[in-house]
Amino acid sequence: MALSTEESGRLVALLSGQDERVTTRWTEIVTSSLRGRLSQAELRRQVQDLHRAIVATGDRGTIDLSADNAAELRAALSELSRGRARQGFSATETTISIFALKDVLAELVQETGGPNALHDYVAFSKLVDEMGLFTFESFVRTRESLIADQAEQLLELSTPVVKLWEGVVAVPLVGTLDSARAQVVMERLLQTLVDTSSPYAIIDITGVPAVDTQVAQHILKTVVAARLMGADCIISGIRPQIAQTIVALGIEFGDIATKASLADALRHVLRLNGVETARRQPRRDA
Amino acid sequence: MERVPILKIGDILLVSIQLDMSDQTAVQLQEALAERIVDTGCHGVIIDITALDIVDSFVGRMLSTIASISKVLDAETVVVGMRPAVAITLVELGLSLNGIRTALNVERGMELIAAAHADELDYQLDDDPDAETARP
Amino acid sequence: MGIDLGQPQAQSVRSDEDVVRVRQLVRAVAVASKLSLVDQTKLVTAASELARNTLVYGGGGSVEVTVVDNGRRKGVQIVFADSGPGIADLDLAMTDGYTSGGGLGLGLSGSRRLVDEFQIETSPETGTRITVTKWSR
């Protein structure tokens, strides 16, 4: 959707002829829609940027949002929507800043009049719609990447692998485990075993509300993989409902050690290592 | 054809696989190792696969066979240094490496062999009535 | 190793050493297309199994590695082709633990679990053609 050469020319004339008035009016409309969440000066600057970009595009030929000469305009629109998305504005609040231009144009076209008024307004409107959609698209893209970043951060935060004792590491799992997260946990745990040269790992699932077949499979695979590497896993913190689910689903935990609590699991490992007996004996002797 | 070196350290044979082995090299290693166990009378074999970025079913089978052969020749085999990604892949592939003892690194592997050997010595001492009475 | 990712990379499979070359080629392409370490390892392992099948059961053949893009994700596709006798009973051959050649019987069934897509065409006239794809996560 592009404006014809004449339409572009008339739009540029309209906008640049009374630029002070256009930006002021535009800023007014946007300010009222945002209810004071951005300062007047800030909005004015944004509107001026857009105004300048449209006029600059028109000076370089016909105005077509997808053409090469509109690169500056597209950049201005993207920058606006990126900023708004980061500041937590809604999609409506963002696109309305563009659609506000329509109101301004309507007033201007009405005043100027002429035989082409209606025709021009429809063409200008289409351009503004297109700009609005473009803004909306980049708004959504920014939000999506924000969400992806946050999900990744959450994943990092929610799967700590901690060293409990010399040769013993633990992963306290908290929250729902989906396949992606289970995989991250698995890889991280195994890598920590190598890095710390720990032959024991405790997987604590006290904070996991539910276990389905897939999650149970992931835990089992982790245990088997750890064994292949020469380390033993103990699963602790299995709550009654989860024990029931495990049995009901027919999942075989086989000879994998399971303990009621993290403390029990640690005690079990230490006993295997002979640590506890070594600590008790001197006390008995004394 | 490239060969995998077999080093003797005390009572242990150490095999550190550093190259992407062809199947032939793997078979050759298997044969050479059996010979070295008999020649040296070692009681432990450590196969270090830290450098291997994959273990497929062929190499997996070779490891199992080496473990079985050395068992017959009275030597304990420990496979050490398997990378996490390799372990995850083996589990997915369905290869369980039955009968193979594993350890995280060479040091842990040596401890494992020493412990197994000590158990064996204890057992022999327990069997011997003189040894029993000789203890305080 | 300079690899042009735009072009399919071919490697013939005639000997043991060629299987090693297939592994190295697949790894290089997998690294270049930014598969995760675990996914690289899974793909190279699957390629090793299938290339060995091509050599042992298909009497040799060829492997082609291509970088693919489905619009959302990038991936690596590998085609193993031989003009051997084909696989008589495909269902049986895909079963864990079944082997006709003295292996562990995990080549086909196991490598299917290591990749995201697995296609197999086989007939006594045209031989066997296996296509596998692994997508980046």
- Domain membership flag for residue B57: yes
Taking the CA of residue C60 and the nearest CA in chain B, the distance in Å comes to: 15
Percent of chain C with pLDDT over 90: 57
What is the per-residue pLDDT across B114-135, written as a single tens digit (0 to 9) for each?
A: 988 887 777 666 555 554 444 4
C38 in reach of chain A (CB within 8 A): yes
From chain A, the residues in CB contact with B102 under 8 A are: 227-230
Containing structural domain, residue B103 = 6-134
Q: Which amino acid is at C112?
A: R
User: Do residues C44 and C91 touch, judged by C-beta distance below 8 A?
Assistant: no
* Lowest pLDDT segment from A57-71, B33-47, B54-68, B114-128: B114-128
The residue in chain B having the minimum alpha-carbon distance to the alpha carbon of residue C18 is B22
B94 in reach of chain A (CB within 8 A): no
DSSP assigned state of C123: E
Q: Test A190 with B87 for CB contact under 8 angstroms.
A: yes
- The sign one gets for the Cα dihedral C43, C48, C49, C55 is positive
From chain B, the residues in CB contact with A190 under 8 A are: 84, 87-88
Query: Alpha-carbon distance B91 to C83, whole Å?
Result: 32
What is the per-residue pLDDT across A215-245, written as a single tens digit (0 to 9) for each?
A: 888 888 999 999 999 999 999 998 888 888 8
For chain A, the residues whose C-beta falls within 8 A of a C-beta of chain C are 180, 183, 187
Q: Test B102 with A229 for CB contact under 8 angstroms.
A: yes
On the question of pLDDT at A61 being above 50, the answer is yes
Q: Test C113 with B93 for CB contact under 8 angstroms.
A: yes
Q: How confident is the model at residue A118 (pLDDT cuts 50, 70, 90)?
A: confident
Which 3 state secondary structure label does DSSP give C33?
coil
- Residues A9 and A142 both lie in one domain: yes
Please state at what angle helix B23-40 crosses helix B57-72, rounded to 10 degrees. Answer: 10
B68 in reach of chain C (CB within 8 A): no
- Residues A177 and A254 both lie in one domain: yes
CATH topology of domain C9-135: Heat Shock Protein 90 (3.30.565)
- Residues A33 and A12 both lie in one domain: yes
From chain B, the residues in CB contact with A226 under 8 A are: 87
- Residues A222 and A104 both lie in one domain: no
- The sign one gets for the Cα dihedral C109, C114, C116, C118 is negative
Containing structural domain, residue A179 = 162-285
Q: How confident is the model at residue B31 (pLDDT cuts 50, 70, 90)?
A: very high
- Residues A122 and A170 both lie in one domain: no
CA–CA–CA angle C16, C108, B25 (5° rounding): 20
From chain C, the residues in CB contact with A182 under 8 A are: none
Which residue, of A95, A130, A155, is where some domain finishes?
Answer: A155
Look up the CATH number of the domain holding residue A94.
1.10.490.130
User: Do residues C76 and C97 touch, judged by C-beta distance below 8 A?
Assistant: no
Look up the CATH number of the domain holding residue B74.
3.30.750.24
The residue in chain B having the minimum alpha-carbon distance to the alpha carbon of residue A196 is B104
Alpha-carbon torsion angle B33, B34, B39, B40, nearest 10: 60
Q: Test A228 with B104 for CB contact under 8 angstroms.
A: no
Which residue from A154, A163, A239, A240 is spatially nearest to A201, judged by alpha carbons?
Answer: A163
DSSP assigned state of B47: E
Which 3 state secondary structure label does DSSP give A137?
helix
The predicted structure's pLDDT at residue B98: 79
Look up the CATH number of the domain holding residue A195.
3.30.750.24
How far, in Å, are B121, B125, B128, B129, C82 from residue B134 at the CA level? 15, 10, 10, 9, 71
Q: How confident is the model at residue B1 (pLDDT cuts 50, 70, 90)?
A: low
From chain C, the residues in CB contact with A183 under 8 A are: 38
Which residue from A155, A149, A224 is spatially nearest to A183, judged by alpha carbons?
Answer: A155
The predicted structure's pLDDT at residue A286: 42
Q: Which of B20, B24, B61 is opposite residue C24, by nearest beta carbon?
A: B20
Which residue, of A105, A126, A155, is where some domain finishes?
Answer: A155
ipTM over 0.90: no
Q: Contact partners of C by the rule of 3+ C-beta pairs under 8 A?
A: A, B
- Residues A134 and A176 both lie in one domain: no
- Our count of domains for chain B comes to 1
Taking the CA of residue A166 and the nearest CA in chain B, the distance in Å comes to: 14
- Domain membership flag for residue B111: yes
On the question of pLDDT at C3 being above 70, the answer is no
How distant is the alpha carbon of residue C84 from its chain centre?
16
* Lowest pLDDT segment from A116-120, A232-236, B70-74: A116-120
- Our count of domains for chain A comes to 2
- Residues A212 and A229 both lie in one domain: yes
- Domain membership flag for residue B25: yes
